[in-house]
């Protein structure tokens, strides 16, 4: 029996919204999905008219939908934004080169300018080379730290005022869970903020913060958006995997759980007397850092010295040696060299 | 091993082997240290031990006994009583089974020589409406610090000793609490079979919940009401609850998933003062379940197995159960999981509210009695959810300004949006209750088929609060400042 759309009550419903459980027609779903993002953008005052906004584009579903919706809303509501796609080429053959092709196609379809920054040009290392030295364990640490900075550097070259990333509600809820399980109170406090890094770095925002991953896929499916969907060929983050699996189970039990977790995260308040890391700048590259040397520089130093473990775990005591370009003692070298598989 | 003499009998963590007597010392010290460090239980105060029959609450009762015993080096100085609530009806147990459990419990409790109360959850249907109101006036004023209180207590004790009362136990019971309510040592009341209609009503209510998650949450909320009621009517100003740190880690994770993030410090902290006059304390929160199990086994502490709602349920039957199996599994792979989660919670505090200040009562959730967390700005998960609801429903509702108003209009106009059945059938519609609830309780209530199965003390109080709110709206323009009169 065909069900009518619960919103317009005239069209036949073609899908059930994962977020609310309502059966709606295609048009009403598009409208609701877009309006919700518009509501997020307006209520959190993400943009000012005339701003140049970089969209972090990976070619995956989230960033493809983000680029599409931002373009639509920018025209529909006259945000007055100049949109630019920014991509990072990590140098992973068989994965990123393919997804970058998707970004290039998107660029033509949406008529948006595109800037690609590569690890190779920024750091002199591709991910393929890094994995060769580091092994499959912990390589996500390198990729994650480098990407964060690479996106900022790319954005700086373009002179944008803000960067948008495609993080969705599932990602945020998962991060809340993970930071809670790891006891990372500083990140726990930051991770639900819709805009981050207002001082020093280029502000970043997440317009899809309240959009369910499943709805993003539905939107891309019905809009027939072109995106690239393959998991990274290098090992996925195991701990995040636990949190992800748990979140999926929760969502199956109660679809609102994702929003409920975000609500929890937004309303946590941290005691005043808890020590928080102080934000400073890296003495080497000038990027924001809570230490004297930023993580990217430490990792890079480790790679260049042939000590890949330097950036894995905490080795704050060695920072002064790194800064002074001093050689490490033999015992320290031995500890950081060995890679166990 | 500490004493380096006796041979070890157990290992708690890697490298932490204990002999029997060192373990006992360690365990007892932890309990005293927890109470000593936090200084919330005052000497001479009446304390109700919430007892479930399980390992943790048995260990807790045992620790209190130990601490009050004559030869304890640093005696505990409060006056204990024990409360057991029989929830058999919720799990569809027969009266015979429930009776058997209760007599088993009674035997254990009799052996403690503390006064105890055994109630059935059905008593919920006899609670007065005022139960959900804050008795701020009745909060005993503690003058001075904990130190002074201990000092004056010891002085009193000395004076009495000179009067010739020598037996320590007698002295304890004779000292009155600060608010001078007479110490009423309630006799162990024999359990009487609750009225059949109450048992049926209780079952009805739980059957109206569509999910096990909601059932468990509802049971937790209602059980707390009953504990609070017993504490109030018998003059207990503290309630001790025996959650272990393992249990609390599970509770933390499941409460985050249930949207109770704002209340984590209250729901899991050492002391929970949401009720104002009665404070919940959790003295067992430093023990892992493993330590408790070892202790109980080594020192023959009894415990009773009572089937609960999620007994025999599959691993992912409810959010609470799922959290439990998740934490247990993760703990096996990453042994620091429980302690990390628990430490994280220590760094949180109750947001934006000063609980010592008398607050407008309407700001408290009708069910969990926490300060409402729904006054968030428009850029929040709460509003984003409402927006999604509005956008997926009829277009006619699209232009109403705020969600609260839209709920009202839609119900008054007769064209009800969602659960039309519950709106027309019940005296108190869903919407009337919903705006009195915190975010998480709203989610729970959404899983109920009908509101009118809730005990009348809740429904009446909801009506009462709604009426007062409407009244206030009417006279708002004549009220001078933002003065919140007690409701």
How far is Cα A86 from Cα A80, in angstroms, rounded to an integer?
19
For chain B, say whether A39 makes contact (Cβ under 8 Å).
Answer: yes
Specify the pLDDT at position A337: 66
Whether A226 and A259 share a structural domain: yes
Whether A70 and A164 share a structural domain: yes
Structural domain range at position B300 = 10-143+152-352
Q: Do B439 and A35 touch (CB under 8 A)?
A: no
Who among A177, A257, A267 is closest to B319 (CB)? A257
Domain contains B416: no
Domain boundary residue among A244, A266, A288? A266
| Parallel, antiparallel or unpaired: strands B271-272 and B279-281 | antiparallel
Contacts of B252 in chain A (CB under 8 A): 180
Structural domain range at position A286 = 280-335
Give A 239-298 residues with CB within 8 A of chain B: 242, 246, 249-250, 252-254, 256-257, 259-271, 274
Specify the pLDDT at position B169: 43
The answer to whether B200 and B121 are in contact (CB under 8 A) is no
Q: What is the pLDDT of residues B431-444, one digit of tens each?
A: 678 889 999 999 99
Who among B319, B349, B393 is closest to A253 (CB)? B319
Residue from B248, B391, B438 whose CB has the most chain A CBs within 10 Å, to mutate: B391
Whether A208 and A288 share a structural domain: no
Q: Do A267 and B350 touch (CB under 8 A)?
A: no
Q: What is the pLDDT of residues B116-138, one digit of tens each?
A: 999 999 999 999 988 888 765 55
CA A196 to chain centre: 12
pLDDT band at B356 (very low <50, low <70, confident <90, very high): very low
Q: What is the pLDDT of residues B305-342, one digit of tens each?
A: 999 898 888 878 999 999 999 999 999 888 889 999 98
Who among B343, B384, B392 is closest to A22 (CB)? B392
Contacts of A270 in chain B (CB under 8 A): 347-349
Q: Do A24 and B389 touch (CB under 8 A)?
A: no
Q: Which residues contact B114 (CB under 8 A, 6 or more apart)?
A: B49, B61, B64, B65, B80, B81, B82
Specify the pLDDT at position A130: 87
CA A57 to chain centre: 10
Whether A234 and A285 share a structural domain: no
Domain contains A6: no
Given a cut of 70, whether residue B395 has pLDDT beyond it is no
Domain CATH code at residue A91: 3.40.50.620
Closest-CA distance, A181 to chain B, in angstroms, reads 5
Residue from A26, A174, A183 whose CB has the most chain B CBs within 10 Å, to mutate: A183
Contacts of A17 in chain B (CB under 8 A): 388, 392
Residue from B250, B257, B262, B383 whose CB has the most chain A CBs within 10 Å, to mutate: B257
Specify the pLDDT at position B168: 44
Tell me which DSSP letter residue B448 carries: B
Q: What percent of chain B has pLDDT over 70?
A: 78
Q: Do B257 and A264 touch (CB under 8 A)?
A: yes
The answer to whether A202 and A161 are in contact (CB under 8 A) is yes
Closest-CA distance, A328 to chain B, in angstroms, reads 32
Number of folded domains that form chain B: 1
Let me know if A265 is exposed, middle or buried by CB neighbors in 10 A (0-12, 13-18, 19+).
buried
Domain contains A79: yes
Give buried/exposed letters for A66-99 (b at 16+ CB in 10 A, else e): bbbbbbbbbeeeebebbbbbbbbbbbbeebbeeb
Q: Looking at residues B403-411, what average pLDDT do you find? A: 41
Contacts of A35 in chain B (CB under 8 A): 387, 391
- Look at A1 and B95; give whichever has higher pLDDT: B95
Whether A52 and A194 share a structural domain: yes
Tell me which DSSP letter residue B84 carries: E
Contacts of A36 in chain B (CB under 8 A): 384, 387-388, 391
Domain contains A8: no
Domain contains B423: no
Q: Do A36 and B352 touch (CB under 8 A)?
A: no
Q: Do A271 and B347 touch (CB under 8 A)?
A: yes
SS3 for chain A is: CCCECCCCCCCECCEECCCCCCEECHHHHHHHHHHHHHHHHHHCCCCCCCCEEEEECCCCHHHHHHHHHHHHHHHHCCCCCEEEEEEEECCCCCCHHHHHHHHHHHHHHHCCCEEEEEHHHHHCCCHHHHHHHHCCCCHHHHHHHHHHHHHHHHHHHHCCCEEECCCCHHHHHHHHHHHHHHCCHHHHHHCCCCEECCCCCCCEECCCCCCCHHHHHHHHHHCCCCCCCCCCCCCCCHHHHHHHHHHHHHHHHCCCHHHHHHHHHHHCCECCCCCCCCCEECCCCCCEECCCCCHHHHHHHHHHHCCHHHHCCCCHHHHHHHHCCCCCCHHHHHHHHCCCC
How far is Cα A191 from Cα A204, in angstroms, rounded to an integer?
12
Specify the pLDDT at position A142: 85
Q: Do B262 and A268 touch (CB under 8 A)?
A: yes
Closest-CA distance, B175 to chain A, in angstroms, reads 37
Domain contains B451: no
CA angle B300, B304, B306 (to 5 degrees): 160
Domain contains B387: no
Domain contains A18: no
Domain contains A180: yes
H helix or E strand, kind and range, residue B371: none
Domain contains B105: yes
Whether A251 and A295 share a structural domain: no
Give A 11-30 residues with CB within 8 A of chain B: 17, 19-20, 22, 24, 28
Domain contains A191: yes
| Parallel, antiparallel or unpaired: strands B116-120 and B238-241 | unpaired
Specify the pLDDT at position A73: 96
**Annotated binding site: which residue ranges of A?**
56-58, 62, 88, 166, 171
The answer to whether A51 and A162 are in contact (CB under 8 A) is yes
For chain A, say whether B384 makes contact (Cβ under 8 Å).
Answer: yes
Domain boundary residue among A232, A266, A300? A266
Domain contains A26: no
Contacts of B387 in chain A (CB under 8 A): 35-36, 39
Q: Looking at residues B439-456, what average pLDDT do you find? A: 92
Tokens of B48: 């109700």
Given a cut of 80, whether residue B14 has pLDDT beyond it is no
How far is Cα A257 from Cα B349, in angstroms, rounded to an integer?
23
Whether A253 and A291 share a structural domain: no
Who among B261, B316, B350 is closest to A264 (CB)? B261
For chain A, say whether B313 makes contact (Cβ under 8 Å).
Answer: no
Contacts of B391 in chain A (CB under 8 A): 7, 31-32, 35-36
Whether A143 and A205 share a structural domain: yes
The interface pTM score, or ipTM, of the predicted complex is 0.85
Given a cut of 60, whether residue B487 has pLDDT beyond it is no
Nearest C-alpha in B relative to A24 = B392
Whether A258 and A287 share a structural domain: no
Q: Which of A60, A111, A108 is nearest to A87 (CA)?
A: A60
Nearest C-alpha in B relative to A33 = B388
Q: Which of B245, B238, B312, B284 is nearest to B58 (CA)?
A: B284
Whether A143 and A192 share a structural domain: yes
Contacts of A25 in chain B (CB under 8 A): none
Q: Note the maximum CA span of chain A.
A: 76
Per-residue pLDDT of chain A (341 residues; tens, 9 = 90+): 788 899 888 889 999 999 999 999 999 999 999 999 999 999 999 999 999 999 999 888 999 999 999 999 999 999 999 999 999 998 888 888 888 888 998 889 889 999 999 999 888 989 898 888 887 777 788 888 888 889 888 888 899 999 999 999 999 999 999 999 988 888 888 888 888 875 567 899 999 999 999 999 999 999 999 888 777 777 666 677 889 999 999 999 999 999 999 999 999 887 777 777 777 788 878 777 777 788 888 888 888 888 777 777 666 677 777 777 777 777 777 767 655 44
Q: How far is CA B270 from CA B52, B140, B241, B306, in A?
A: 19, 20, 10, 26
Averaged pLDDT of chain B: 81
Domain contains A246: yes
The answer to whether B51 and B301 are in contact (CB under 8 A) is no
Closest-CA distance, B8 to chain A, in angstroms, reads 32
Q: Which of A192, A225, A239 is nearest to A63 (CA)?
A: A225
The answer to whether A272 and B390 are in contact (CB under 8 A) is no
Q: How far is CA B464 from CA A142, B66, B112, B125, B422, in A?
A: 59, 46, 42, 18, 19
Residue from A35, A178, A181, A207 whose CB has the most chain B CBs within 10 Å, to mutate: A181
Give B 201-260 residues with CB within 8 A of chain A: 211, 213, 252-253, 255-260
- Look at A238 and B349; give whichever has higher pLDDT: B349
Q: Looking at residues B69-74, what average pLDDT do you find? A: 77
Domain contains B53: yes
Domain contains B4: no
Contacts of A249 in chain B (CB under 8 A): 316, 322, 326
Tokens of A288: 């924001």
| Parallel, antiparallel or unpaired: strands A52-56 and A82-89 | parallel
Q: Do A9 and B439 touch (CB under 8 A)?
A: no
DSSP 3-state of B441: helix
Given a cut of 80, whether residue B62 has pLDDT beyond it is yes
Domain contains B98: yes
Who among B326, B337, B392 is closest to A6 (CB)? B392
Q: What is the pLDDT of residues B357-370, one digit of tens each?
A: 444 444 789 999 99
pLDDT band at B176 (very low <50, low <70, confident <90, very high): very low
Number of folded domains that form chain A: 2
How far is Cα B409 from Cα B77, in angstroms, rounded to an integer?
57
Specify the pLDDT at position A23: 93
Q: Do B388 and A36 touch (CB under 8 A)?
A: yes
Whether A162 and A223 share a structural domain: yes
For chain A, say whether B392 makes contact (Cβ under 8 Å).
Answer: yes
The answer to whether B422 and B448 are in contact (CB under 8 A) is no
**Annotated binding site for ATP: which residue ranges of A?**
56-58, 62, 88, 166, 171
How far is Cα B77 from Cα B21, in angstroms, rounded to an integer?
24
Contacts of A257 in chain B (CB under 8 A): 257-258, 319
Q: Lowest-confidence range among A219-223, B271-275, B376-380, B480-484?
A: B480-484
Q: Looking at residues B442-461, what average pLDDT do you find? A: 92
Domain CATH code at residue B31: 3.40.50.620
Whether A88 and A200 share a structural domain: yes
Closest-CA distance, B394 to chain A, in angstroms, reads 4
Q: Do B391 and A252 touch (CB under 8 A)?
A: no
């Amino acid at each position: 029996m065909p069900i009518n759309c619960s919103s317009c009550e005239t069209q036949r419903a073609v899908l059930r919204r994962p977020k609310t459980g309502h059966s709606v027609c295609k048009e009403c779903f598009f409208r609701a999905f877009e309006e919700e993002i518009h509501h997020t953008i307006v209520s959190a005052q993400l943009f000012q008219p005339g701003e140049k906004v970089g969209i972090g584009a990976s070619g995956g579903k989230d960033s493809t939908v983000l680029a599409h919706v931002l373009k639509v809303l920018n025209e529909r509501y006259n945000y007055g934004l100049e949109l630019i796609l920014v991509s990072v080429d990590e140098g992973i053959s068989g994965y990123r080169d393919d997804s970058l092709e998707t970004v290039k196609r998107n660029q033509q379809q949406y008529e948006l300018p595109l800037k690609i920054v590569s690890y190779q040009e920024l750091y002199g290392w591709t991910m393929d080379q890094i994995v060769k030295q580091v092994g499959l364990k912990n390589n996500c640490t390198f990729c994650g730290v480098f990407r964060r900075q690479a996106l900022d550097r790319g954005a700086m070259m373009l002179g944008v005022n803000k960067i948008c990333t495609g993080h969705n509600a599932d990602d945020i809820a998962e991060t809340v869970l993970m930071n809670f399980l790891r006891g990372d109170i500083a990140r726990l406090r930051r991770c639900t903020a819709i805009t981050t890094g207002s001082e020093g770095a280029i502000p970043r925002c997440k317009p899809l913060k309240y959009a369910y991953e499943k709805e993003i896929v539905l939107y891309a499916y019905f809009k027939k958006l072109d995106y690239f969907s393959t998991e990274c060929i290098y090992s996925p983050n195991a701990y995040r995997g636990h949190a992800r699996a748990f979140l999926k189970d929760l969502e199956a039990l109660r679809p609102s759980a994702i929003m409920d977790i975000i609500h929890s995260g937004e309303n946590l308040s941290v005691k005043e007397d808890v020590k928080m890391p102080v934000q400073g700048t890296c003495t080497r590259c000038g990027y924001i850092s809570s230490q004297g040397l930023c993580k990217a520089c430490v990792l890079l130093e480790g790679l260049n010295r042939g000590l890949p473990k330097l950036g894995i775990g905490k080795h704050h005591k060695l920072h002064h040696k790194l800064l002074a370009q001093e050689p490490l003692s033999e015992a320290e070298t031995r500890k950081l060299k060995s890679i166990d598989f | 091993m500490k004493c380096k003499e006796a041979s070890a009998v157990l290992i708690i963590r890697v490298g932490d082997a204990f002999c029997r007597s060192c373990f006992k010392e360690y365990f007892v010290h932890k309990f005293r240290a927890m109470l000593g460090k936090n200084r919330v239980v005052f000497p001479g105060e009446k304390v109700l031990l919430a007892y479930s029959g399980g390992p943790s609450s048995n260990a807790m009762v045992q620790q209190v006994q130990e601490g009050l015993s004559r030869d304890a080096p640093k005696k505990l100085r409060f006056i204990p009583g024990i409360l057991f609530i029989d929830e058999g009806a919720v799990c569809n147990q027969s009266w015979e089974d429930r009776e058997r459990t209760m007599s088993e419990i009674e035997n254990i409790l009799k052996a403690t020589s503390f006064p105890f109360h055994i109630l059935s959850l059905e008593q919920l249907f006899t609670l007065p409406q005022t139960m959900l109101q804050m008795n701020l006036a009745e909060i005993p004023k503690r003058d001075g610090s904990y130190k002074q209180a201990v000092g004056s207590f010891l002085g009193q004790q000395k004076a009495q000793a000179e009067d010739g009362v020598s037996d320590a136990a007698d002295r304890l019971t004779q000292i009155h609490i600060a608010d001078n309510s007479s110490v009423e040592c309630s006799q162990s009341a024999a359990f009487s079979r609750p009225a059949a209609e109450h048992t049926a009503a209780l079952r009805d209510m739980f059957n109206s919940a569509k999910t096990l998650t909601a059932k468990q949450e509802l049971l937790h909320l209602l059980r707390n009401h009953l504990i609070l009621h017993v504490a109030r009517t018998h003059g207990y100003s503290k309630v001790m609850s025996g959650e272990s740190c393992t249990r609390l880690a599970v509770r933390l994770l499941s409460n985050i998933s249930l949207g109770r993030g704002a209340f984590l410090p209250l729901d899991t902290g050492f002391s929970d003062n949401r009720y104002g006059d009665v404070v919940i304390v959790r003295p067992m929160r430093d023990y892992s379940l493993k330590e408790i199990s070892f202790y109980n086994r080594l020192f023959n502490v009894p415990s009773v197995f009572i089937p609960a709602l999620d007994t025999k349920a599959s691993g992912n039957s409810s959010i609470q159960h799922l959290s439990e199996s998740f934490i247990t599994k993760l703990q096996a792979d990453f042994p620091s999981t429980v302690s990390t989660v628990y430490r994280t919670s220590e760094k949180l505090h109750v947001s934006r509210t000063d609980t010592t200040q008398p607050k407008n009562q309407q700001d408290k959730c009708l069910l969990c009695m926490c300060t409402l967390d729904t006054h968030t700005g428009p850029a929040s998960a709460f509003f984003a959810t409402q927006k999604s609801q509005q956008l997926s429903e009829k277009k006619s509702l699209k232009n109403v300004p705020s969600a609260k108003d839209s709920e009202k209009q839609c119900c008054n106009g007769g064209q009800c949006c969602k659960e039309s059945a519950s709106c027309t059938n019940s005296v108190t519609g869903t919407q009337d209750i919903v705006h009195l609830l915190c975010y998480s309780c709203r989610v729970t209530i959404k899983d109920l088929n009908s509101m009118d199965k809730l005990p009348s003390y809740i429904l009446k109080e909801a009506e009462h609060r709604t009426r007062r709110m409407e009244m206030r709206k009417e006279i708002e323009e004549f009220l001078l400042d933002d003065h919140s009169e007690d409701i």
